[in-house]
Chain A
Amino acid sequence: MKARPPTFQKFREVQAELDRSGSALFRDAEGIESLIVRYPYSVTYIHSYAEDSPFFLGLAEGRLRGSHCTTKGCGFVYATPRGHCMICGGPTEWIDLPKDGRVHSWTTCHFGSEAFLKETPYNLALIEFEGAGSLLLVRLKDAVESDLYVGMPVQARFEPNPKYSITDVWFVPSK
């Protein structure tokens, strides 16, 4: 017979016990005991960038690509590329965006989801480009909270060892 797992009245202690032995009992204020076990789960996806692929291939070549609507009378320019126009539904084609832009809005994240906690603090910024009708969300590096402001001129930088991720591009304050 297996011994009953140890009982805890603080949920935090339950979590520590799960890391140690894989099971614990939690007794709540009303004296109800619940058996709690570890339940791991992981998965690796076969993720296709599909119609967004040329954008990510472009980053690896040091190109920042948006798209524009080819419908006459529409012509909306997207800084974050879209395969079809959200205004008129027409097809778009790829364009090169300028590598200089301005900060439309920004924040410094002191936390993040679990996968990104080790990278904190990091800055996020929405970038506006001359002639584009939409924005691009990126990391903003080489600047701290007190440096940043709406309207700040910034420039694109590209990852020399591309990972085929949106993080292959980031922006820095313009020189």
Chain B
Amino acid sequence: MVTGGVTKFAKAHPAMDFRLMVKRAYDYALKEVPNLTADRIDGTRIAYFSDHFARQLKAASMVQDYLGMNPKGSVRIEWGGATGGECFQAGYEAVASGRMDVCLTAGFETMSRVPTWKGNEFIALASDTNFDFPLGGFYTGYYALMVMRHIYEYLRLNRFAHVKDEREAQRLAIAEGSRIMSLVSVKNHRNALYNPYAQYPKKLTVQDVLDSEMISYPITREQICTMSDGAAVAVLCSESVARELTDRPIQVTGVGCGTDTMRLADRPFGKVPLLPHESATDYSHLPYPGVHSFRAGRTAGIEAYRMAGITDPVHELDFVELHDAYASSEIQTYEDLGLCRYGEGYAFVERGDPFLKGIDYGFPVPRAGAMPVNPSGGLIACGHPVGATGLMQAVFAFWQLQGTIPKHFGDRTLQLPHPKRGAIHSHAGTGSSVTVSILERGFR
């Protein structure tokens, strides 16, 4: 990867349609690398999630057209919430296969053209329309079902195992889970205070998050990402062209992808696919994935780590930008990606591992900086214009590894000290498809 660009994500960009948003991100990216001119781009991979949002089919062709990329080759990528991550990997594959030397990947979504609850309906049409959608058509409801079981497996049966009264034990576990999810929301919103691209930087407290509107019990409004308008681009090149274009290239050293059943109800109860640092005895009594964990995320992680030669992710990654559409799914994803064991996600947050050093969160974070997760603020604070999101993560990770966060953000707070390797993670509805890509500093 040699460059990238992102538009500021916003609730609505009425003055820009999707073509102009992508153009802005594209111009920003090209300006960074003066030797990269449009004629050197061999082809494109262009991503957006839903034709419904702009009521424009083949919108990717219109982006291709607006950027002046015709008659080069192009493919539209769509894979639900993981659309951006898939697009990044499609660009990687175009280059790695030798088909292209330079591939432009671009993603966008304009979600403001319909009211929020209609937008929720479009998103929910990405659930089984025979069995799931007619029950409420509501993705927050599906994630609430998942975290409710996660809380049961890991807080009720563990932290509150000593409580005899079943219903009291479950009440305590839900309260504890809600509190810890709120810590994640505070982290991401406060990180975003230093990210000028973020849609909702906020100085929240745990109580603010808990007191925000209940959307689907136990998930509150401030634990959920929002609808956004936005675009992001990343340019991927063969190694020789990359070195010619920039002295600070970032290498893609691993790609992984996993999938799972569309319906939550069909998820099996089997064995945990293990990462190298885990053993079967860690999970001898854990039915997996059930509805508490994302098998697709675990599968994507295993593939990407293997390719990048990572055997102990928490010690071999300097940061992770992961798909926190919900504070709950951030905690579940720590476990899928092996940043902690299954069941340790809540303690991982409480210890402070995923927090950043040097930021005031309003509560003590003893191990801040141990394993920074979503230093950018993630989806919860940056927004989630679906097709752009996975590429936004790639751009933020790229700037982290280049050490250029101060330049692009106009603030050095979020720049980690000399990061060498990071992971990006893109996730579609209830974990039905997930990508993980590993990015490494490609220069000394």
A residues with CB within 8 A of B = 11, 14-15, 26, 28, 30, 32-34, 36, 39, 41, 47, 49, 52, 56, 78-80, 82, 86-87, 104-117, 119, 122, 124-126, 133-139, 145, 149-151, 165-167
**How many CB-defined contacts (below 8 Å) exist between A and B?**
152
The winner among A105, A110, A134, A166 for most chain B CB atoms within 10 A is: A105
Max chain A C-beta neighbours (<10 A), residue from B14, B149, B219: B14
B257-287 CB contact bits vs A (8 Å, 1 = yes)?
A: 0000101111111000000000000000000
B216 touches A107 (CB 8 A): yes
| Most chain A CB inside 10 Å of its own CB: which residue of B112, B115, B265 | B265
A26 in contact with B14 (CB, 8 Å): yes
Q: Given the complex, which residues of B lie within 8 Å of A15, measured CB to CB?
A: 115
Closest to A125 in B: B145
In the complex, A124→B213 CA distance in Å?
Answer: 19
Q: Which residue of A lies closest to B120 (CB)?
A: A113
Which residues of A have CB within 8 Å of B214? Answer: 110
Interface status of B309 (Cβ within 8 A of chain A): no
**Residue of chain B at shortest CB distance from A39:** B55
Instruction: From B124, B216, B264, B291, give the contact of A110 (CB < 8 A).
Output: B216
B141 engages A115 (CB within 8 Å): no
Is B140 positioned at the interface, with any CB of A under 8 Å from its CB?
Answer: yes
30 A-B residue pairings within 8 Å (CB atoms) = A30-B15, A86-B261, A86-B268, A105-B148, A105-B291, A107-B144, A107-B217, A107-B218, A107-B219, A109-B144, A110-B217, A111-B117, A111-B120, A112-B136, A114-B117, A117-B117, A124-B135, A124-B141, A126-B145, A134-B265, A134-B266, A136-B265, A137-B132, A145-B217, A149-B166, A150-B148, A150-B156, A166-B131, A166-B134, A167-B135
Min C-beta distance of A153 to chain B, whole Å: 12
Residues 400-424 of B at the A interface (beta carbon under 8 Å):
none
Contact residues in B for A166 (Cβ distance below 8 Å): 130-132, 134-135
Whole-angstrom distance between the alpha carbons of A149 and B160 in the complex? 15
Contact partner of A111 among B15, B131, B138, CB < 8 A? B138
Min Cβ gap A95→B in Å is: 16
Are A109 and B138 also in contact (CB < 8 A) when A36-B14, A124-B145, A150-B156 are?
Answer: yes
A22 to chain B, nearest CB (A): 15
Q: What residues of B have a CB within 8 angstroms of the CB of A26 in the complex?
A: 14-15
Q: Does the CB pair A108–B120 fall under 8 Å?
A: no
Which listed residue (B136, B215, B263, B268) contacts A124, Cβ 8 A? B136
Report yes or no: B145 in contact with A115, Cβ–Cβ below 8 A: no
Check: B167 CB closer than 8 A to any chain A CB: yes
In the complex, how many angstroms separate the beta carbon of B314 from the nearest chain A beta carbon? 29
In the complex, which of the residues A39, A47, A150 contacts B149, with contact meaning CB atoms closer than 8 Å? A150
A78 B216 Cβ-Cβ under 8 A? no
CB-CB under 8 A from A39, the residues of chain B are: 55
Chain A residues contacting B99 (CB-CB under 8 Å) are none
How far is A126 from B314 in the complex, measured between Cα atoms in Å? 34
Query: Looking at the complex, which one of B14, B121, B268 makes contact with A28 (CB distance below 8 Å)?
Result: B14
- Residues of chain B within 8 A (CB-CB) of A47 are 129
Per the bound structure, the CA–CA distance linking A78 and B265 in Å amounts to: 9
- B267: chain A residues at CB < 8 Å are 134-135
Interchain residue pairs A-B with the least CB separation, the first 3: A113-B121, A107-B144, A113-B137
Task: Report the minimum CB–CB distance from A44 to chain B (whole Å).
Answer: 14
Q: Does B223 contact A (CB under 8 A)?
A: no
CB-based contact B263/A137 at 8 Å: yes
Residues of B within 8 A of A116 (CB): 136-138
Q: Would you call B120 and A114 a contact (CB within 8 A)? A: yes
Closest chain-A Cβ to B124's Cβ sits at a distance in Å of 5
A115 touching B264 by the CB < 8 A rule? no
Chain A: CB-nearest residue to B218: A107
Besides A113-B121, A165-B134, 13 other A-B contacts (C-beta < 8 A): A11-B11, A49-B130, A80-B265, A107-B144, A110-B215, A111-B140, A115-B121, A124-B141, A135-B266, A149-B170, A150-B152, A151-B166, A166-B132
Q: Give complex CA distance A145, B136 in Å.
A: 17
Q: What distance in Å separates the Cβ of B432 from its nearest Cβ neighbour in chain A?
A: 13
- Is there an interface contact between A79 and B149, defined as CB atoms closer than 8 Å? no
B209 to chain A, nearest CB (A): 16
Among B121, B130, B263, the most chain A Cβ lie within 10 Å of the Cβ of B130
A111–B216 contact, CB under 8 A?
Answer: yes
Taken together as a complex, chains A and B put the C-alpha atoms of A80 and B135 apart, in Å, by 14
Q: Are A133 and B135 in contact, CB atoms less than 8 angstroms apart?
A: no
Q: Which of B165-194 contact A (CB under 8 A)?
A: 166-167, 170
